[in-house]
Structure 1
């Protein structure tokens, strides 16, 4: 029997209408299925923790109601469980929101599971843990901890499904775990069935970023075209008990699933193709080969699994410095000279005022992403005269007021700057530093609780 796994989002802020055609396709095919939402990035939990500090009922995916409202009724009617790490820093509050939504939709008996245990802040002394090799050079001596979350695996999610959950709300899980869990539950995979779990990990890895495997990010007009990009479809995986894995998407949606899109996503964030480490299994794709099995259908073969690691990754987020950004535009004849002069004046102003910030200026549209802090590219540019430019002043430092004052200098250019200057704005945002540690998995116990929507509402 084939089991379908659909994806409804690849990050926090993804398209809220994306899950609808996925669910329609799952329902139309009539096969056992599950739908998962992946909404967390490295810093998303920290931002959610800050929201929870301001409001005890906040701290979960802000678009959660918009994501679930159009599909919750159909998923419940057709026995399609929903899983998501959309609980972020506050899974219980997310579950209560889902319960209120269920009550409004006439589903008071909806069963919601809350998975907890990933939040290890205050439970584990980070300074006693080994630091992930990539983060060893970061200076964290004065940093204040915001959040510390372990990447937990699929077992508590699968257990929640086995207990009858219609919706599983979690915080920080590994991305593949969201797909592995319903497959474990449906096929009865054991936690040490490495070959089967490898199929699940590859399934989750290919689907976790939503439309990246169906043409998003892949799309490069004129070189790598995709049809109907405004209506790009989110992916669906077909998994069989024999180890078959095929990636596809809903009929009638845009985008494309072919060997190129699947290859790009398969290699995404894969530092070692022989050892893609997840909490549930170590995936080896060195023997993998792909087959175009039809239009918008790619079969994945040759995956191998090895025993899971003894440790879990814990990502800790700390309060960093402040980032200030001030922007202003120039347009028309001689725009380049005016933009250069404006940028130089802005940097000079920060020196004159003695503001304790580190700053740089960029000419957006000419040189910004690839330039150095010294502005080497825009200072040395000798190409065609651009019709307009956007000047961006960025300032960073530990003192919010100093950073704010630096960013505000862009506003003064409306009256103190060159001719034809306009469209000024500024803002100040906190910066978050992340550092990853390794902890023995037995030190991160997980659990789930199961509730009816009526009990939670």
Structure 2
């Protein structure tokens, strides 16, 4: 089975995914577009408007992909549902009808939102402090596993939209369903999870995040191709990319991605399996083709990780430029002035100067209120006439800061549900 990755984050490019779909001879396409902070921001948008909260690029991405996917019979799985999977499903259903794809079946997987089930006195995994001490909690989303997605595939869905699902699980689900694996067959579940972990960041494994000129040169990054994996019934996988695209798939790119975000290579915990990567082998079969095998799996944990978003304050960012002779010293003096004037407030400031002949001062602070954040911005703006000579180009910005911590929840406290959205009706299955 050939499975491809058409997005590695919410801001990823769209054309490489279209090319992968058109020329990659795929069996399924996965779009991994959700990060911890992304879903918390989505929850905030949903609170402001119940019709929002899903990936704002959903329409643009699916508009480009759905016609080719429907023509080629390639299912698309994505976590673009973010904080509002059902609204995302309705948007996708509407788009499909506009494109004349009236028979397209859109599935929505929910159940990851567990805000009403977490214990606010439970310790955060990161620092051991009770969740409630971090600030007002705005979201709590459990990492669902592959078992939550398989009912949608079994129902014949052409598009599956989810909220918080573990990244590798988006890939494991169609592999397990398509190849007939039992999710409690730990060697195969481990192999499928390894494939998902390798593909989940799209262009990272084809050289994008790998590139470092003069040290790790990658050809034609402007036309970076996205990856696919050919996965056998035993879980052995071959990683590649469409011919003629930029980038590179090599032993080095695969090994870097193998260890990406892995704290313990012998026990990488996912909702589906505890993955042991220590025996994985990576072998270059031919140019831009790498054979991967050797994952070992142990039974999945009895708990699910929960990503908890909280309001952590307000960030002030203000910048001003200085140019010409002695520009750097004038910029440094400007930073000293702002720091001195704000010292009585007790705010923790960061003042950085970049450049030499043309310099940019950036002042940043995390504050408890938007009013205090505005104070930082006003002080930088006042440098126009009250600071060193030649300041210009002031830009200021105040944003809410979303913090993220994690906790655990018993698996049986989370109930995934699948809803099929068709042209004339919807139906729900547990």
Same fold (TM over 0.5): yes
For 1:288-339, what per-residue CA distance to the aligned partner results, in whole angstroms no more than 9, with x for missing partners? Answer: 1111011111110211111111110011111111110100111121112111
Match of 2:13 in 1: 15
Deviation at 1:142, TM superposition (A): 6.2
- Looking at structure 2, the residues matched to 453 and 272 of structure 1 have their Cα atoms a distance apart, in angstroms, of 46
CA deviations 1:336-389 (Å, max 9, x no partner) are 2111111101111213xx435321211134xxxxxxxxxxxxxxxxxxxx2121
1:138 and 1:10, CA in 2 relative to 1: closer, same or farther beyond 3 A? farther
Alignment-derived partner of residue 280 in structure 1: 272
Alignment gaps of 5+ in structure 2: none
Are 2:409 and 1:452 equivalent residues in the alignment? Answer: no
Partners of 2:30 and 2:233 in 1: CA distance: 20
Paired with 1:441 and 1:191, the residues of 2 have a C-alpha distance of 15
TM-superposed CA distance for 1:140, in Å, is 4.2
| Alignment correspondent of 1:81 | 75
Shift of 1:204: 0.7
**C-alpha contact 2:328 2:353 (8 A) present in aligned 1:** no
3-state DSSP class of the match of 1:192?
coil
Q: Give the structure 2 partner of residue 200 of structure 1.
A: 192
Number of equivalent positions: 426
**1:216 shift after superposition:** 1.1
CA contact (8 A) 1:361 1:394 kept: yes
Counterpart selection for 2:2 from 4, 7, 20? 4
SS of the counterpart of 2:91? helix
Asked whether the equivalents of residues 191 and 293 of structure 2 are also in contact (C-alpha less than 8 Å), the reply is no
1:118 aligns with 2:118: no
- Look up the match of 2:233: 241
Q: CA offsets, 1:417-455, max 9 Å, x none?
A: 222221110000111121211111011111101121454
SS at match of 2:234: coil
Which of the numbers 211, 218, 228 marks the counterpart of 1:226? 218
Matched, 1:404 2:374: yes
- The structure 2 residue matched to 1:289, chosen from 265, 271, 281, is 281
CA contact (8 A) 1:359 1:394 kept: yes
User: Which residue number corresponds to residue 67 of structure 1?
Assistant: 61
Deviations 1:105-146, CA, capped at 9 Å, x for gaps = 11111111110110001133342x4532x2315784261111
Which position in structure 1 is the counterpart of 2:329? Answer: 337
Distance 1:238 1:41 in 2: 26
CA–CA distance in structure 2, aligned partners of residues 338 and 454 of structure 1: 67
- Once residues 179 and 350 of structure 2 are traced to their aligned partners in structure 1, the CA distance between those partners, rounded to angstroms, is 55
5+ long unaligned stretches in structure 1: 366-385
RMSD: 1.5
Cα distance in 2 for partners of 1:150, 1:182 equals 20
Match of residue 294 from structure 2 = 302
Q: Which residue does the alignment assign to 2:347?
A: 357
Corresponding residue for residue 363 of structure 2: 393
Match of 1:430 in 2: 400
Tell me which stretches of 4 or more aligned residues in structure 1 moved more than 6 Å: none
CA deviation string 1:385-415 (max 9, x = no partner): x212110111211121011121222112222
CA contact under 8 A between 1:38 and 1:209: conserved in structure 2?
Answer: yes
Residues 166 and 271, structure 2, Cα contact 8 Å, conserved in 1: yes
